[in-house]
Structure 1
Amino acid sequence: MIFNIEAVAFDIDGTMYSDRHLFIHIAPYFFKNIRFFYNFGKTRARLHGAEPVEDFFEHQARLAADFMKMPPEKARILIQEKIYDGLKGFFPKIRPFKDLNTALTAFKDAGLKLGLLSDFPPEQKGDLWGFRQLFDYALGSESCGVLKPHPRPFEILEQGLGVPAERILYIGNSIRSDVKGAHAAGMKTAYLTPLWRRILHKKPHEADICFKNYRQLCKIVLQ
């Protein structure tokens, strides 16, 4: 087992499925609500650099309200309606990445614990295309009061899995949120590398593994 790891943890969005595939499905919904999504995007960008708060959803609503020029309670209702509820119905239509199920099953069969850490609620994705029962622990960073790359969600993930940080391999598609965040928390990291980075050989130095698909990752981890 590479790095003598005892657990493998995953980001979800863009890591377990293609962001491009999702956008193809939500494009009409996105453009119908484009002003909202623009302001929500600015809100999340601000939150990614913030410190933990006691009530994340209230804080998020207040920031969004400033961008949207409306009362915080109205912003909170809109976010619930258009993000947490509005996007939920699209995920059953999305295909996970090829060989993801094979890799998850192989990791489980090898005795590794499996975890999830996403900036959006894992339950938004339902049964995770039938994979949910394979995971020992799942966490949405919002419930920690702060988004990745802050170390707090990774520390809670470590506690939930019951495995020391240095024995956890965290897998993601964002250098800032996933690779740098997990690395700073003491975890090993695997980066799902886009084609342009592979062509230019631009590997983030914080990534212990760079991989192009789950068949390759499985071979690396279980070697």
Structure 2
Amino acid sequence: MVSRRPVARRRQPRERSSQGTSRQDDTEIGHRSDENGATVRLNPTTTSHRSEVTVLFDLDGTLCVHDQSTDALLDAAFDAVGIDRYCGPTDLRSAAAAVEPAESDVEFYRRCLRVAAERAGADPADAGSIALAYDDAIDHGAVSFRDGAADALEAAIDSGRRVGLVTNGARGTQRTKLDALGITDRFETRVYAEPEFGVKPEPYPFERALGNLEADPATTTYVGDSLRADVAGANALGMETVWTPTDVTELGPDDPEPDHTLPSLAGLAALV
């Protein structure tokens, strides 16, 4: 584990936008089972806080990884549109680090493929059709926990902290993944992508989760694998940030700085 800033230092929270408290139907309020197996609805408007601190998790790349290989998905996508393949998994990951978060999965794939095409000297005009084919080839239920993720989630819950999910994925796609992992009901709130209000790193999804949990950013820890979407967005609101990189582990000169860097989520229990 690498800690780059003192844990005690907190940023001052930015003034909340009106979007952060406006809509009640943007997210789902979760349920958990009590010690007798009974399902208990956890609604922040009616449930008292069990703790002053909160943990928010990202999903893709943080709690879960795809079982399908990127190589096979790229083969399927390029074959479907009849175009010679011009990039591999490493090229796609490199392109992903260079593009901004998008309002949908397909748009994110399009941006990545466009960058990969330009770098390979290929025609980027076909990136949109390849992105659609790539998305069609994905089985969103074929996911597994990232190493240490299941234990990290349970450690956060067992610590007495309030636990939520903030993801840039669409509700249907992400619910499929959560159901496959068996953790849909482990979160007190689940915030999915609402492109019309902004996706991470925009403040809306973070503020929506904080509002649902009646949480203070200064006593909230955010855990995610993306410097641009997760760390930058949570930093801006004054949350403690835990970066869980999957590939690049060194910060660039212009990268947002997390409070902690965990190569493995197994180290999260020591922080919560």
Query: TM exceeds 0.5?
Result: yes
The structure that is helix-richer by fraction is 1
> TM-score if structure 2 supplies the norm length?
0.56
Q: CA deviation at 1:130?
A: 0.7
Secondary structure of the residue aligned to 1:142 is: coil
User: Who is 1:13 aligned against?
Assistant: 60
Q: CA deviation at 1:205?
A: 5.9
Q: 1:96 aligns with which of 141, 145, 163?
A: 145
- My pick for the range that moved more, 171-180 or 11-20, is 11-20
Query: Which amino acid letter does the alignment assign opposite residue 118 of structure 1?
Result: T
Q: 1:157 aligns with which of 209, 213, 232?
A: 209
Q: Is the 8 A contact 1:172 1:190 kept in 2?
A: yes
User: Who is 2:25 aligned against?
Assistant: none
Q: 1:31 aligns with which of 74, 78, 81?
A: 78
What does 1:130-141 correspond to in 2, within 5 Å? 130-141=182-193
User: Who is 2:236 aligned against?
Assistant: 184
Secondary structure of the residue aligned to 1:207 is: coil
User: Who is 1:213 aligned against?
Assistant: 264
Query: Which amino acid letter does the alignment assign opposite residue 163 of structure 1?
Result: A
> TM-score if structure 1 supplies the norm length?
0.67
Secondary structure of the residue aligned to 1:90 is: coil
The gaps in structure 1 that reach 5 residues or longer are: 49-55, 70-74
Aligned equivalents of 1:140, 1:112: Cα separation in 2: 21
CA displacement, residues 182-209 of structure 1 (integer Å, 9 cap, x when unaligned)? 10011111001345526x899x663111
Q: Is the 8 A contact 2:221 2:240 kept in 1?
A: yes
The gaps in structure 2 that reach 5 residues or longer are: 1-6, 9-50, 87-94, 112-123
Do the aligned partners of residues 14 and 194 (structure 1) sit closer, same or farther apart at CA in structure 2, a change above 3 Å counting?
Answer: closer
Q: Is the 8 A contact 1:119 1:148 kept in 2?
A: yes
Q: CA deviation at 1:123?
A: 3.6
What does 1:52-131 correspond to in 2, within 5 Å? 86=136, 90-125=139-174, 126=176, 127=179, 129-131=181-183
Aligned equivalents of 2:156, 2:101: Cα separation in 1: 33
Query: Which amino acid letter does the alignment assign opposite residue 205 of structure 2?
Result: P
Aligned equivalents of 2:234, 2:192: Cα separation in 1: 15
Aligned equivalents of 2:194, 2:161: Cα separation in 1: 26
- My pick for the range that moved more, 183-192 or 104-113, is 104-113
Q: CA deviation at 1:168?
A: 1.3
Q: CA deviation at 1:149?
A: 1.1
Do the aligned partners of residues 153 and 196 (structure 1) sit closer, same or farther apart at CA in structure 2, a change above 3 Å counting?
Answer: closer
Query: Which amino acid letter does the alignment assign opposite residue 152 of structure 1?
Result: Y
- Count of matched residue positions in the alignment of Structure 1 and Structure 2: 191
User: Who is 2:245 aligned against?
Assistant: 193
Aligned equivalents of 1:179, 1:117: Cα separation in 2: 12
Q: Is the 8 A contact 2:240 2:259 kept in 1?
A: yes
Q: Is the 8 A contact 1:121 1:139 kept in 2?
A: no
Q: Is the 8 A contact 1:25 1:90 kept in 2?
A: no
- My pick for the range that moved more, 209-218 or 10-19, is 10-19
CA displacement, residues 90-128 of structure 1 (integer Å, 9 cap, x when unaligned)? 232222212211111121111111111111124413115
Structure ID, larger Rg? 2
Q: CA deviation at 1:46?
A: 6.4
Q: CA deviation at 1:15?
A: 1.5
**Alignment RMSD:** 4.0
Aligned equivalents of 1:187, 1:25: Cα separation in 2: 38
- My pick for the range that moved more, 20-29 or 139-148, is 20-29
